[in-house]
Structure 1
Amino acid sequence: MAVTVGKVFLAQPCTSASFIANGKHVHRSSFGFAANPGAAPLRHSWTVVRAQERPTWLPGLDPPPYLNGTLAGDYGFDPLGLGEDPESLKWFVQAELVHCRFAMAGVAGILFTDLLRVTGISNLPVWYEAGAVKFGFASTKTLFIVQMILMGFVETKRYMDIVNPGSQAKEGAFLGIEAAFEGLEPGYPGGPILNPLGLAKDIKNAHDWKLKEIKNGRLAMIAMLGIFVQASVTHAGPIDNLVEHLSNPWHKTIVQTLANSSS
């Protein structure tokens, strides 16, 4: 019987087979039912004999129709139905990409600087206090204004490319250096600056690269959540937490840490 939930049906030819049973010539179809011995064997009739499972976040789940598997990392997860509107879904896809990339950069930056701090290679503050550090080359207000201008410019260009795909790759759209960025499609810029290794030049057929990025990005967002919780509970960086855990793995775990923090 073909299963309908979360599956894509594939039609295959139904073949037949013959064998000797109890001294009689018995003809069976591919389903195992005995056919009429006097009838000619049917060897090329088509029927639905199996279904190919589509990976979903919950096994056996029937994914919503608007999540048809074409998006990178689409496992049918939308319990609140937020993506029913195609325009909203387009924005959510771009928002997830941006959050994934910031999370990957954040996790890498926190771990790297924390490692330098713990090993004594550099006198850096713990990551959650880095924002309060005063820099000698510029005031906090100046740095904030510069960041707002730069980030505002980049985000505006990204927004314009989403609204009108390809518009930011036209000549004169980016100070005459459009070719250095060479937008591939909304959310996936390229060129020698943002794609120096030349990966996924054919972005339309780069599903594997997109899937790898979105999976690593989602993992990074979970990691960032864990780092936030660790900092709130232990008031220490992730490398400090790791070193403490390794010093006594059976007694210094998340269970004991949360139990001690609540007492």
Structure 2
Amino acid sequence: MDVVVGRGFQILACSSPSFFGKNLYRTSLGVTKIRQPSRTGPAPRFLRSVVQAQERPTWLPGLDPPPYLDGTLAGDFGFDPLGLGEDPESLKWYVQAELVHARFAMAGVAGILVTDLLRVTGISNLPVWYEAGATKFEFASTRTLFIVQLLLMGFVETKRYKDFTSPGSQAKEGSFFGLEPALEGLEPGYPGGPLLNPLGLAKDIKNAHEWKLKEIKNGRLAMMAMLGIFVQAYVTHVGPIDNLMEHLSNPWHKTIIQTLAGSVS
């Protein structure tokens, strides 16, 4: 008699030839079968093993993740309801795209909160974040700033794309005005060196799974925070620190529910 045990189990070697009188073996389909020993002949030879529960964390408990999300990617919790990552090449691009968006979101949230705090406390006369783009600065015109940003961002994004299509090509000598030793490209999406990794974190990028996981988790949280900041600005027309101060002034009656209800009415 064969009994199939789910994917949440794995085979581990042990000294006992059986487990509660049942022989175990792993099939080619990635499941484990428990076979009752035959009473009419000698038991077949199997690996001496036991079953140990091994649950992979998924975004929805009990979910069976798609086969192309095998848990090797940083932050892989089996979430792909639209099947966007079925194509391996597309999956590589989406991974890099999420990483870049996560870093931009973390920088954006930090910039919005810091500048808004300086504005609310009166330390600096700064515009609210959603009006900063229309502000005219004295040291340069808007057109000049736009052209400079376009050139700099275009250069960086071009370098990043070339490194994605040909990993390691941008770390070769002569590819960055002789500054390659200061960058030390580790792998696509993870540049290093004293300029981009001054603290020397995750030098062994192949085994830096914990650092990658922390970064992508914080990046996803920042993307959700940016979405909240966008909605908050559209509804209340003030900055996040202003909303926080208003909520703290009367926590039981000035909440997100009352704010949304007031904006609809």
Q: Give the TM bin, normalised by the shorter chain.
A: 0.7 to 0.9
| 1:169-188 aligned within 5 A | 169-188=171-190
Shifted more, 50-59 versus 215-224: the winner is 50-59
- Runs of 4+ residues over 6 Å off in structure 1: none
CA 1:53–1:3 in 2, change beyond 3 Å: closer, same or farther?
Answer: farther
What letter matches 1:192 in structure 2? P
Under a length normalisation based on structure 1, what TM-score does the superposition of the two structures give? Answer: 0.87
Matched residues in 2 for 1:4 and 1:97: separation? Answer: 33
Q: Which residue of 1 aligns with 2:14?
A: 13
Give 1:71 deviation, angstroms: 0.4
Q: What percentage of aligned pairs have identical amino acids?
A: 80
| 1:128-167 aligned within 5 A | 128-167=130-169
What letter matches 1:153 in structure 2? F
- Give secondary structure in 2 for the equivalent of 1:11: strand
The number of aligned residues is: 241
Per-residue CA distance 1:117-157 (angstroms, 9 max, x = gap) = 01110111100000010011111111101100000000000
Under a length normalisation based on structure 2, what TM-score does the superposition of the two structures give? Answer: 0.86
Q: Which residue of 2 aligns with 1:82?
A: 84
**Which structure 1 residue ranges, 5 or more long, are not aligned?**
17-28, 34-43
Given candidates 59, 82, 107, the residue that maps to 1:105 is 107
Matched residues in 1 for 2:227 and 2:15: separation? Answer: 52
What letter matches 2:11 in structure 1? L
Matched residues in 2 for 1:72 and 1:213: separation? Answer: 9
**Which structure 2 residue ranges, 5 or more long, are not aligned?**
23-45
Aligned-residue RMSD, C-alpha: 2.0
Q: Which residue of 2 aligns with 1:31?
A: 20
Matched residues in 2 for 1:150 and 1:11: separation? Answer: 54
Matched residues in 2 for 1:189 and 1:242: separation? Answer: 36
Greater Cα radius of gyration, structure 1 or 2: 1
Per-residue CA distance 1:176-226 (angstroms, 9 max, x = gap) = 111111100000000000000000000001000000000000000000000
Contact (CA 8 Å) 1:10, 1:52: kept in 2 or not? no
- Give secondary structure in 1 for the equivalent of 2:194: helix
CA 1:3–1:224 in 2, change beyond 3 Å: closer, same or farther?
Answer: farther
Matched residues in 2 for 1:8 and 1:213: separation? Answer: 29
Given candidates 209, 216, 219, the residue that maps to 1:217 is 219
Matched residues in 2 for 1:32 and 1:254: separation? Answer: 59
